[in-house]
Amino acid sequence: MMARQPVRVLVVCTGNSARSQMAEGFLRVYGAGGVEPASAGMEPRALHPHAVAVMAERGVDISQQTSKPFSELLARAMDYVITVCGDAEARCPVLPPSVRHLHWPLPDPARAEGTEEHVRAVFRQSRDAIERLVREFLEGLKAADYSGSSRSSVV
């Protein structure tokens, strides 16, 4: 029996500084061996320190990840492109039918204002929502594998 190729997943947001980076980190850890994750931004900014800190609280190190610009060529090579904000969804080009486009509308924690404690709490809420979505996504992939369905038709 041939081994399956990892599912290639690109997570896209505007800045590639928080939401998409956290999703990439969770996909890398929870999808180890079965998923090849990447992230990108329409207007990449530096990795947000609060994203790094709240992911470390979950034992996921994203400190070495870097912000990268969105590339249509890269997106076309993926099995899934997941946009995590309205801006990225609106700016994502039409992709071939072989690339599944999912949208997870998540508020941007990098826009949070207030005390350090409040901002960190907003990042934790975002992290927890992303973790739930990633786990659900991966469960969908696993269910499709068990049912013999094509991965490209999942979710």
What span, in angstroms and rounded, lies between the C-alpha atoms of 142 and 146?
A: 6
Q: Which one of the listed residues 7, 9, 11, 13 is annotated catalytic?
A: 13
> Has 13 been annotated as catalytic?
yes
> Has 66 been annotated as catalytic?
no
What span, in angstroms and rounded, lies between the C-alpha atoms of 18 and 148?
A: 35
Q: Which one of the listed residues 85, 88, 122, 130 is annotated catalytic?
A: 85
Report DSSP letters for 1-28, one per residue: -PPPPPEEEEEEESSSSSHHHHHHHHHH
> Has 85 been annotated as catalytic?
yes
Closest by CA to 55, choosing from 17, 6, 92, is 17
What span, in angstroms and rounded, lies between the C-alpha atoms of 36 and 45?
A: 22
Q: Which one of the listed residues 23, 92, 130, 141 is annotated catalytic?
A: 92
Using the Cα atoms of residue 142, residue 143, residue 146 and residue 148 in order, give the sign of their dihedral: negative
Q: Give the catalytic positions in this structure.
A: 13, 85, 92
